[in-house]
């Protein structure tokens, strides 16, 4: 498996890993690869398929411009984005990679091909630059989910599979399936997080690995905290009210009151759903989030992690969080390798479904479950999201995305609970359910795959228009 925990968990900006983070990275990479830029006189970005259809609602237009300016998802300051873009638009020019000025207006420099897709993935971008001598150069990139990008033909060139196999051979526990990972565990006596740690430590020291994981968790935790204290309305035109802060205040008011008559037995689960919604409200507002494994599903893992750290009362929460993250990453790697984590490719089952599986497996690992119980929890998490469509209303990562994260977090805890109360034996394997997810996504009509051309995206708008 040629992936790292830090490939699955990337610090970035909302509202979408595939439509915001990926395009920003692709735009910057295009210019870096085209250097020097001193004689460039124009640049254009063309968006295709899902990127064109839901790009404005997912801030793809903003992300591409920011990438051309040299910004990166992990370093751009969310609160400064609108001012930066407004200044560039008013000036009618961009500083490519922050240095070389060229004329640029969004209306002409960004082209949306809503009825056309490029062959390798629904999320395609073609960048073109023109030089002073009249020559031009174009290159196609694909944003394949979770902030991952690839250039046209990349990974398909002669020898690519052999190179991947060679890289995998360097790690002590290579795996492309859960069956292989379980076999390594049986032979070595190690747990899944222990094997993932050994693989990561081929490139990093244990201290570097822990520092990186701890940083990811701090960003996740801070994102929850900020979302739980920020009221208001989300951008985009739907006038969606942020609910997590008000609901969190109400929950705490009940706890603080002398009478607890309004307390419900499932209040702990209510809090978990609010953690997840808080993250995805931050994401919808363009705030700082961590892909887990995508932005659209970014709330599930942080919510279950906080539940583990605060409600499960672990004796060693630091180690538990690290084991949680390593185990979650293993599940995400398998889903990306053998199916997809792109809503534009296989629907929301590949985002919320995968995040649920990752969180369920991580929680089982953190609570000391066996490798077989970890696998069982992940399988349950995906199985009960099979067929979930990606049909965001208005092309915005708001409805139904925010609530789906709250529900996904609760499902993850339920899946972990079921797995921990069993011995790890079950009928459907994780490998089988991942393949089922892949096939289901392939059979799913495109209108249900992040195009806003079907499902809730058109039904609700049609109803609203009829009511007007």
Average pLDDT of the residues in 384-402: 96
Measured over the CA atoms of residue 3, residue 431, residue 296 and residue 148, the dihedral's sign is positive
Strand (E) or helix (H) holding 31: helix 22-34
Query: What's residue 467's pLDDT?
Result: 35
Is pLDDT above 70 for 242?
yes
Query: What's residue 164's pLDDT?
Result: 53
Kindly state the DSSP code that residue 233 receives in the 8-state scheme.
B
Distance of CA 142 to the CA centre of its chain: 15
Is pLDDT above 80 for 163?
no
Average pLDDT of the residues in 304-309: 97
Distances (CA, A) of 214 to 9, 221, 318: 12, 10, 8
The count of C-alpha atoms lying within 13 angstroms of the C-alpha of 281, restricted to the half-sphere facing its C-beta, is 27
Is pLDDT above 70 for 169?
no
Token pair of 117, please? 């897709």
Is pLDDT above 70 for 308?
yes
Query: What's residue 161's pLDDT?
Result: 55
| Cα separation, 301 vs 298, whole angstroms | 7
Query: What's residue 468's pLDDT?
Result: 33
Give the DSSP per-residue string, 34-60: H---TTEEEEEEEEEEHHHHSTTTTTH
Is pLDDT above 90 for 241?
yes
Give the DSSP per-residue string, 106-156: HHHHEEEETT---TT-SEEEEEEEEETTS-EEEEEEEEEETTEEEETTTTT
| Cα separation, 334 vs 1, whole angstroms | 8
pLDDT digits (tens, 9 = 90+) for 95-124: 999 999 999 999 999 999 999 999 999 999
Structural domains for the chain: 19-143 (3.30.1330.90), 193-460 (no CATH)
Average pLDDT of the residues in 14-28: 96
Beta pairing partners, 42: 130
Name the nearest CA neighbour of 358 among 436, 435, 421, 434: 434
| Cα separation, 389 vs 394, whole angstroms | 15
Average pLDDT of the residues in 5-11: 96
Token pair of 297, please? 């599903």
Give residue 210's pLDDT band: very low, low, confident or very high (50, 70, 90).
Answer: very high
Kindly state the DSSP code that residue 240 receives in the 8-state scheme.
P
Measured over the CA atoms of residue 180, residue 186, residue 187 and residue 193, the dihedral's sign is positive
Is pLDDT above 90 for 162?
no
């Amino acid at each position: 498996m040629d992936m790292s925990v830090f490939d699955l968990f990337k610090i970035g900006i909302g509202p979408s890993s595939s439509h915001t983070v990926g395009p920003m990275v692709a735009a910057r990479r295009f210019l870096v690869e085209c250097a020097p830029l001193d004689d460039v006189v124009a640049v254009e970005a063309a968006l295709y398929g899902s990127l064109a259809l839901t790009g404005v609602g997912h801030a793809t237009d903003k992300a591409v411009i920011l990438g051309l300016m040299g910004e990166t998802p992990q370093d751009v300051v969310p609160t400064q984005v609108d001012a930066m873009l407004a200044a560039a638009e008013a000036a009618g020019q961009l500083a490519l990679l922050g240095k070389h000025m060229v004329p640029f207006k969004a209306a002409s420099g960004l082209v949306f091909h809503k009825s056309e897709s490029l062959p390798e993935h629904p999320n395609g971008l073609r960048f073109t630059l023109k030089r002073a001598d009249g020559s031009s150069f174009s290159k196609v990139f694909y944003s394949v989910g979770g902030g991952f990008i690839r250039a046209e033909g990349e990974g398909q060139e002669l020898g690519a599979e052999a190179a991947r196999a060679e890289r995998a051979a360097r790690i002590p526990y290579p795996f492309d399936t859960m069956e292989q990972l379980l076999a390594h565990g049986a032979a070595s006596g190690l747990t899944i997080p222990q094997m993932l740690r050994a693989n990561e430590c081929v490139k990093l020291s244990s201290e570097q690995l822990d520092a990186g994981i701890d940083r990811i968790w701090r960003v996740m935790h801070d994102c929850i905290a900020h979302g739980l204290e920020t009221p208001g309305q989300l951008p985009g035109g739907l006038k969606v009210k942020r609910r997590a802060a008000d609901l969190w205040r109400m929950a705490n008011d009940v706890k603080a009151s002398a009478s607890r008559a309004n307390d419900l037995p499932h209040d702990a689960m209510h809090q978990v759903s609010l953690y997840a919604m808080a993250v995805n409200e931050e994401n919808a507002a363009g705030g700082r989030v961590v892909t887990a494994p995508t932005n659209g599903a970014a709330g599930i893992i942080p919510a279950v992690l906080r539940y583990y750290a605060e409600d499960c009362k672990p004796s060693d929460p630091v180690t538990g969080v690290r084991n949680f993250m390593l185990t979650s990453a293993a599940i995400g790697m398998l889903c990306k390798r053998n199916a997809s984590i792109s809503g534009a490719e296989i629907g929301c089952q590949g985002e919320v479904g995968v995040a649920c599986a990752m969180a369920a497996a991580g929680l089982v690992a953190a609570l000391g479950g066996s490798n077989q119980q970890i696998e069982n929890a992940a399988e349950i998490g995906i199985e009960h999201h099979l067929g979930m469509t990606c049909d965001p209303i208005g092309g915005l990562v708001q409805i139904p995305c925010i609530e789906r994260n709250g529900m996904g977090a609760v499902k993850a805890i339920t899946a972990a609970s079921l797995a921990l109360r069993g011995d790890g034996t079950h009928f459907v394997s994780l490998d089988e359910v991942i393949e089922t997810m892949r096939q289901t996504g392939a059979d799913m009509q495109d209108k249900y795959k992040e195009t806003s051309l079907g499902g809730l995206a058109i039904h609700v708008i049609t109803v609203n228009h009829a009511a007007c």
